[in-house]
């Protein structure tokens, strides 16, 4: 078991180094990477299509990569926005990794791109452990999934710079307990901004667009703070 732990740690450490290098390269090119995480069926493709359409309408140079285990359905949907879109098929892998993402960006990312959206595979477990070099990590959840998801998946929600509640037009029909949801979010990631949206009614889309178009993380997630504190304590002990 200890050996498995060591291998996992080594894999994540290698990914983190590659993600840091990719982040630095993208900053050199003035590209902001936004990593979208959610479970399947949260509505993130519909929401991303709205954001890409808004970016094109506003004249903001934008591009998107969408990852799936199979099919190119999402890429075809997103391309309707008029933005450059690339589909990544992972061949069974349940998450994207920094090296894989870099390989798909090389030679494809259009010059002058300012915002790059990455629609990660629908999964709240594996993708949350892998830094992709993003400036902004957005974790989405629909009202139909139940208000306790943040405490069930603390690594995902605890690593978010922004939490987005989707399909809010269905909240009443789903019997969604919004105060309980907000309490759960605050428990795993105190202070993280929370936006309510609906791709169908366009509720909150303008505010979400303004936030991601701001170009930088609006909140340091609790897991990032814990990692920074751990590095500080380690350095102090070493000293």
pTM exceeds cut of 0.85: yes
Domain that holds residue 10: 2-238
pLDDT, tens digit (0-9, with 9 covering 90-100), for 156-185? 999 999 999 999 999 999 999 999 999 999
pLDDT tens, position by position, 4-56: 566 577 778 999 999 999 999 999 999 999 999 999 999 999 999 999 999 99
Alpha carbons 221 and 191: distance in angstroms, whole number: 8
From its phi and psi, is residue 185 left (phi > 0), alpha (psi between -120 and 50) or beta?
A: alpha
Structurally, the chain folds into a number of domains equal to 1
- Count how many residues are written for the chain: 239
pLDDT value at position 2?
Answer: 60
Q: With beta carbons less than 8 A apart as the criterion, state whether 66 and 45 touch.
A: yes
Q: Which domain CATH number covers 180?
A: 3.40.50.300
The set of residues, in sequence order, having a beta carbon less than 8 Å from that of 154 and lying 6+ positions away, is 188
């Amino acid at each position: 078991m200890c050996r498995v732990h060591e291998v996992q740690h080594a894999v994540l450490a290698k990914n983190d180094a590659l993600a840091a290098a990719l982040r630095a390269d993208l900053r050199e090119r003035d590209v902001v990477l936004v990593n979208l995480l959610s479970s399947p069926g949260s509505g993130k493709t519909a929401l991303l299509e709205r954001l890409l359409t808004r970016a094109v309408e506003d004249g903001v140079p934008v591009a998107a990569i969408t990852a799936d285990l199979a099919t190119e359905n999402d890429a075809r949907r997103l391309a309707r926005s008029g933005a450059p879109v690339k589909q990544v098929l992972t061949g069974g892998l349940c998450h994207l990794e920094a090296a894989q993402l870099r390989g798909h960006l090389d030679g494809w990312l259009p010059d002058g791109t300012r915002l790059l959206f990455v629609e990660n595979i629908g999964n709240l477990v594996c993708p949350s452990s892998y830094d992709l070099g993003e400036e902004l990590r957005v974790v989405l959840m629909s009202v139909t999934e139940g208000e306790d998801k943040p405490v069930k998946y603390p690594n995902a929600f605890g690593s978010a710079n922004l939490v987005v509640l989707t399909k809010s037009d269905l909240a009443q029909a789903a019997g969604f307990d919004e105060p309980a949801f907000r309490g759960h979010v605050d428990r795993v990631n105190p202070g993280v901004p929370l936006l309510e949206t609906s791709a169908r009614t366009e509720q909150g889309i303008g505010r979400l667009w303004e936030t991601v178009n701001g170009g930088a993380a609006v909140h340091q997630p609790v897991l990032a703070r814990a990692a920074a504190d751990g590095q500080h304590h380690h350095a102090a002990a070493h000293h």
